[in-house]
C-alpha cells in the first residue's frame, strides 16, 4: 500500500475514495451484479429442474439473456442513451443491425433449405 | 442528476487524471471498435451453431455432453469477476489506490482462472464421451464457438499478468491506467458473450 502514496499525482486527493461519485460508481457495479444474478439464477433453475416445457424455457431464457446484455452494457460498460462524446451506442446498434442481417439471414436461408430437402 | 458526458465506454477516469483521460478517450474508443468487430465474429459462429445444432450424424448430442452444474459455476465465476474488475477500476480512479487495484485485479484473475478450470474440465469430459470436433457438424460448430471464448478469456488473463508486471516496474502511470480501462472493456465484453453462450448453447441444449 505504501507505493500508492508515492504514485499519487499532486492534484488528486487521497481521501477521494469516499466521494459521492466514487460511491455512485461502485453502487452501479454492485447493482449491475445483483440484476445480472436475478436474470441468471431463475434461468438455470427452470432448466436444471425442468420446471417449464422446453419451448417456454427457450422464450424465458432468450428474453432474460437480452435484458441481461442490456444490464451489462448499462452498468458495467457505462453505455447510456445520452451524454456520450463518441458514437459508442451507435456502434453497438450498427453491430446489432449487421448481426441481425447476417445471423438472421443465415438461419432463415439454411433452415428454409433444410425444410426443402 | 447531471453528469459530465462520457468520453468512451467503460469507466471514465475524469478530470483528476487529465492526461490519462485524454489518452483513454482515443484508445478505448479504438478498442471498442475492435470489440464490436469481435462481436460479429462470435455472432456468425452462433449462427453456424444454430444451423448445425441438430446435425449430430449419429454421434453424441447436447444432453449427453453438457453438464449444467459445471456451466452454472462457470457463469457465476465469470459474472463475479466482471463485478470485481469494475470495483478495481473505481479504486484506480478514486485516490489512485494501487494496492486495492492490484487486489481486485488478482481477485478477478482468480475467478477467471476458476472459470477456465471448470471449462477445461468440461472439454476433457466431452472428449472422453466421444464429443470431438471431427465427429459431427454439430460438434465442429460447438468447438469453433465455445473454446474461442475460452481462448479470449485466457488471453485476457495473460494481458492482466502483463499489466501487473508493468505496474510493478513503472507504477500506476498513464499507460497502465489506459491499459486497465481497455482490459476492462474486453473483460466485460467477454462476460456478455458468455451470456449468449450459456443461453444458446447450454440452456438451449439441455432445456
pLDDT digits (tens, 9 = 90+) for B134-165: 999 999 999 999 999 999 999 999 999 999 99
User: What's the gap in Å between the CA of A110 and the closest CA on chain B?
Assistant: 7
Q: What pTM did the predictor assign?
A: 0.89
> Three-state DSSP class for A84?
strand
Q: In b/e form, how buried is each residue of A22-44, taking b as 16+ CB within 10 angstroms?
A: beebbebbeebbebbbebbeebb
Enumerate the residues of chain B whose CB falls inside 8 A of the CB of residue A15. 95
Determine whether the interchain pair B3/A25 forms a contact, defined as Cβ–Cβ distance below 8 Å: no
Residue A34 CB partners (closer than 8 Å, separation 6+) = none
Amino acid B193: pLDDT: 97
Among the partner residues B98, B204, B207, nearest to A7 by beta-carbon distance: B98
Determine, for residues A22 and B94 on separate chains, whether the beta-carbon distance falls below 8 Å.
yes
pLDDT band (50, 70, 90) for residue B119: very high
For residue B97, the chain A residues in CB contact (below 8 A) are 4, 17
Q: Strands of B98-173 (E only): list them.
A: none
Nearest to B95 by CA among A3, A29, A4: A4
**CA-based Rg of chain A, rounded to a whole angstrom?**
22
Q: How far is CA B49 from CA A112, B55, B142, B146, in A?
A: 16, 10, 6, 10
Q: Say whether A33 and B47 touch across the interface (CB within 8 A).
A: no
**Domains identified in chain B and CATH numbers:** 18-53+66-206 (1.20.120.80)
Residues of chain A contacting residue B7, judged by C-beta atoms under 8 Å apart: 84-86
Which of A6, A7, A39 has the highest number of chain B CBs within 10 A, making it the mutation to test binding with B?
A7
Best of A39, A44, A76, A117 to mutate (most B CBs within 10 Å, chain B): A76
Whether A48 and B207 lie within 8 Å, measured CB to CB: no
> How near does any CA of chain A get to the CA of B120, in Å?
21
- The full set of domain ranges for chain A reads 1-78, 83-117
| Adjacent-strand bridge partners of B6 | A84
Residue A106 CA to residue A98 CA, distance in Å, equals 12
Round to whole Å and give the CA distance between B120 and B31: 28
Nearest CA in chain B to A113: B51
**Residue B59 · residue B134 · CB < 8 Å:** no
Is the CB of residue B167 less than 8 Å from the CB of residue B97? no
Burial class (CB in 10 A: 0-12, 13-18, 19+), B182: buried
Task: Say what the pLDDT of residue A18 is.
Answer: 62
More confident residue, A15 or B78: B78
Is A3–B98 a contact, with Cβ atoms under 8 angstroms apart?
yes
Query: Cell 466431452, residue?
Result: B126
Instruction: Look at B68 and A76 and tell me if their CB atoms are within 8 Å.
Output: no
Element (H, E) at B13: none
State the distance between the two ends of chain B, measured CA to CA, in whole angstroms.
43
Short-list B185, B188, B181, CA closest to B163:
B181
Q: Which bin fits A75, alpha (ψ -120 to 50), beta or left (φ > 0)?
A: alpha
pLDDT at A3: 41
A84 forms beta bridges with: B6
Residue of chain A whose alpha carbon sits nearest to that of B44: A103
Q: Shortest CA distance to A17 belongs to which of B92, B39, B25, B63?
A: B92
- Asked whether the predicted pLDDT for residue B3 surpasses 80, the reply is no
pLDDT confidence tier of residue A1, bands split at 50, 70 and 90: very low
Query: pLDDT for B171-206, tens place per residue?
Result: 898 899 999 999 999 999 999 999 999 999 999 999
Q: All 3 cell numbers of residue B180?
A: 486497465
Of A7, A26, A83, the CB nearest to B96: A7
What interface predicted TM-score (ipTM) does this complex get?
Answer: 0.90
On chain B, the residues whose CB falls within 8 A of the CB of A97 are: none
Q: From the candidates A77, A87, A107, A111, which should be mutated to test the interface with B, based on the most B CB atoms within 10 A? A: A77
Amino acid at each position: 500500500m505504501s507505493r500508492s502514496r508515492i504514485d499519487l499525482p499532486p492534484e488528486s486527493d487521497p481521501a477521494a475514495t469516499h466521494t459521492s461519485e466514487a460511491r455512485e460508481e461502485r453502487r452501479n457495479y454492485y447493482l449491475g451484479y445483483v440484476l445480472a444474478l436475478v436474470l441468471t439464477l431463475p434461468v438455470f433453475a427452470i432448466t436444471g429442474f425442468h420446471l417449464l416445457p422446453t419451448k417456454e424455457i427457450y422464450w424465458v431464457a432468450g428474453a432474460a439473456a437480452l435484458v441481461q446484455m442490456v444490464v451489462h452494457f448499462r452498468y458495467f460498460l457505462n453505455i447510456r442513451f445520452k451524454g456520450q462524446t463518441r458514437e459508442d451506442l451507435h456502434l453497438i446498434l450498427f453491430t446489432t443491425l449487421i448481426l441481425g442481417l447476417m445471423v438472421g439471414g443465415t438461419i432463415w436461408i439454411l433452415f428454409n433449405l433444410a425444410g426443402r430437402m | 442528476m447531471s453528469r459530465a458526458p462520457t468520453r468512451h465506454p467503460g469507466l471514465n477516469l475524469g478530470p483528476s487524471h487529465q492526461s490519462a483521460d485524454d489518452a483513454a478517450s482515443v484508445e478505448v474508443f479504438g478498442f471498442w471498435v475492435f470489440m464490436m468487430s469481435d462481436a460479429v465474429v462470435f455472432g456468425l459462429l452462433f449462427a453456424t451453431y444454430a444451423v448445425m445444432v441438430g446435425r449430430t450424424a449419429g454421434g453424441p448430442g447436447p444432453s449427453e455432453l453438457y453438464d449444467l452444474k459445471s456451466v452454472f459455476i462457470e457463469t457465476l465465476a465469470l459474472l463475479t469477476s466482471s463485478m470485481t474488475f469494475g470495483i478495481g477500476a473505481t479504486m484506480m480512479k478514486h485516490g489512485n489506490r494501487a494496492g486495492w487495484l492490484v487486489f481486485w485485479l488478482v481477485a478477478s484473475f482468480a475467478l477467471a482462472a476458476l472459470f477456465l478450470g471448470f471449462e477445461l474440465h468440461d472439454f476433457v469430459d466431452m472428449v472422453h464421451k466421444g464429443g470431438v470436433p471431427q465427429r459431427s457438424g454439430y460438434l465442429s460448430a460447438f468447438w469453433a464457438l465455445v473454446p474461442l471464448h475460452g481462448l479470449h478469456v485466457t488471453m485476457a488473463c495473460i494481458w492482466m499478468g502483463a499489466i501487473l508486471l508493468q505496474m510493478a516496474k513503472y507504477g500506476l502511470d498513464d499507460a497502465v491506467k489506459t491499459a486497465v480501462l481497455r482490459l476492462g472493456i474486453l473483460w466485460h465484453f467477454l462476460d456478455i458473450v458468455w451470456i449468449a453462450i450459456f443461453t444458446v448453447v447450454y440452456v438451449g441444449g439441455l432445456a
